[in-house]
Structure 1
Amino acid sequence: MARVSQAHLDARRRQILDGAARCFALNGFHATSMQDVLKEVDLSAGAVYRYFSGKDELIAAIVTEVLGGIREAFEEAARQTPPPPPDVLVGQVMTQVLGLGGGEAKHGLAWDGEASFPRLMIQVWTETLRDGELSQVLRTGFVTVREAWVKVVEGYQEAGVMRADIPADHVARTMIATAQGFAAQQALFGSAPVEVIQDGLRGLMSMESPR
């Protein structure tokens, strides 16, 4: 029997993850069965279970991959001196990593149509309230993402383009909350171009103290 190449194995795993993400985003975790996933990816049970033991492992893998892609994007930005300004940076991450604003995801899952990251994000947040293991995966991922954002903020401060008397972690958390909130709006109230959050951040950044 011919040996299966690593490229083939990676492509098959990618196919399963993308298909499962579409199912979860559209119908939620509980309403989606492994049979739904098998039908979506058009593979046999044996082919899918070779990579994932079940639905819980699929969910954890998707969450870990998305958070890893976000962390990687901000680590790349932190290596620039100074990093791109917040409005540009957040827009780039949402377009390249999450596929918002009509962009193609640069890292990880391929989001398309209604099966978008914002919809899946809401599902994940809800599920972590009852699933301790998934909650830990999300917490661990959040820590690594926050560390990457902190490096970006420190880059701003070292370059003298942001006040240095405010803790970098506080700024990083606020930037994360802004991105999360906009993604939640996408899921709950309909799609909006990424330029909306970029313009909003630009407006806030332009404020000056009254004289």
Structure 2
Amino acid sequence: MARVSPEHLAARRQQILDGAARCFARDGFHGTSMQDVLRETGLSAGAVYRYFPSKDAIIGALAANVLATVGRSFQQAVESGHPPPPDELLTHGLRKVADQLGFPPSMVIQVWAETLRNPELHAVFQDGFAHLLALWTRIVVTYQREGRMRADIEPESVARALAASVQGFLLQRGLFGAVDTSVFTEGMRGLLSFDDGAGERPG
């Protein structure tokens, strides 16, 4: 029997995830069956179940892919020793996700909602977010050490605020349609430029 290469296995797994994502985007998680996934991918039941024993397992894998993609982006910033400013850092992460994950923004909302029902998916997100929060906290510590950010604020508090800004932008895109990432960049730059003592006060 011919031996299947790791590259072939990875490509087949991604084929299933891509097909399932199209189904979920079109019909929602609960409106999609495993039979729908089989038809979308053109694969046999045995081929699909070899990788994913259930629809929930596919949803969990999609969520893990998103978190891993974002995590790799920020890991590079941590390892650089001199991360870019927050507006550039977060924008890069958003673009990385958009480039590498080919499903519509509304899928983000579906996945978040599903975590309230699915304990296993909730655990995936909890672990993934904890990893991202640790990375962002390390980045904030670097900002503070370099004198680029106030040092009298708890780093994790700043990291959580950065995470919330990204989550809020993704939520807007999912609810109201595609918004260019440049809008987020400009908005972050505006917030970062705030100086309570700058300029003349009216009146």
Task: Give the Cα separation in 2 of the matches to 1:134 and 1:30.
Answer: 15
Following superposition, the deviation at residue 40 of structure 1 comes to 1.4
Following superposition, the deviation at residue 154 of structure 1 comes to 1.2
1:176 is matched with which residue? 163
Counterpart of 1:157 (choices 136, 144, 151) is 144
2:192 is matched with which residue? 205
Following superposition, the deviation at residue 82 of structure 1 comes to 2.1
Quick one: which amino acid aligns to residue 210 of structure 1? G
Are 1:29 and 1:123, in contact at CA under 8 Å, matched by a contact in 2? yes
2:181 is matched with which residue? 194
Task: Give the Cα separation in 2 of the matches to 1:26 and 1:157.
Answer: 45
2:53 is matched with which residue? 53
Counterpart of 2:118 (choices 131, 148, 172) is 131
Matches within 5 A, 1:117-128: 118-128=105-115
Task: Give the Cα separation in 2 of the matches to 1:37 and 1:164.
Answer: 51
Are 1:23 and 1:32, in contact at CA under 8 Å, matched by a contact in 2? yes
Following superposition, the deviation at residue 146 of structure 1 comes to 0.7
Task: Give the Cα separation in 2 of the matches to 1:70 and 1:10.
Answer: 19
Following superposition, the deviation at residue 12 of structure 1 comes to 0.3
Question: Which structure: larger Rg?
Answer: 2
Q: Does 1:143 align with 2:145?
A: no
Task: Give the Cα separation in 1 of the matches to 2:127 and 2:38.
Answer: 29
Matches within 5 A, 1:74-89: 74-89=74-89
2:201 is matched with which residue? none
How many equivalent pairs are there?
Answer: 198
What do residues 162-181 of structure 1 show as CA deviations (whole Å, max 9, x unaligned)? 01111110111111110111
For structure 2, the residue ranges without an aligned partner over 5 or more in a row are 199-203
Are 1:81 and 1:159, in contact at CA under 8 Å, matched by a contact in 2? no
Are 1:82 and 1:155, in contact at CA under 8 Å, matched by a contact in 2? yes
Task: Give the Cα separation in 1 of the matches to 2:157 and 2:30.
Answer: 35
2:16 is matched with which residue? 16
Task: Give the Cα separation in 1 of the matches to 2:16 and 2:40.
Answer: 9
1:95 is matched with which residue? 95
Task: Give the Cα separation in 1 of the matches to 2:27 and 2:84.
Answer: 37
Quick one: which amino acid aligns to residue 143 of structure 1? A
Name segments (4+ residues, structure 1) moved above 2 Å: none
Following superposition, the deviation at residue 8 of structure 1 comes to 0.8
For structure 1, the residue ranges without an aligned partner over 5 or more in a row are none
Are 1:68 and 1:145, in contact at CA under 8 Å, matched by a contact in 2? no
Are 1:128 and 1:134, in contact at CA under 8 Å, matched by a contact in 2? yes
Task: Give the Cα separation in 2 of the matches to 1:79 and 1:26.
Answer: 39
Following superposition, the deviation at residue 80 of structure 1 comes to 2.2
Q: Does 1:185 align with 2:172?
A: yes
The structure with the largest helix share of the pair is 2
TM-score, with structure 2 as normaliser: 0.93
CA RMSD of aligned residues (A): 1.3
The share of aligned pairs that are identical, in percent, is: 49
Task: Give the Cα separation in 1 of the matches to 2:3 and 2:26.
Answer: 36
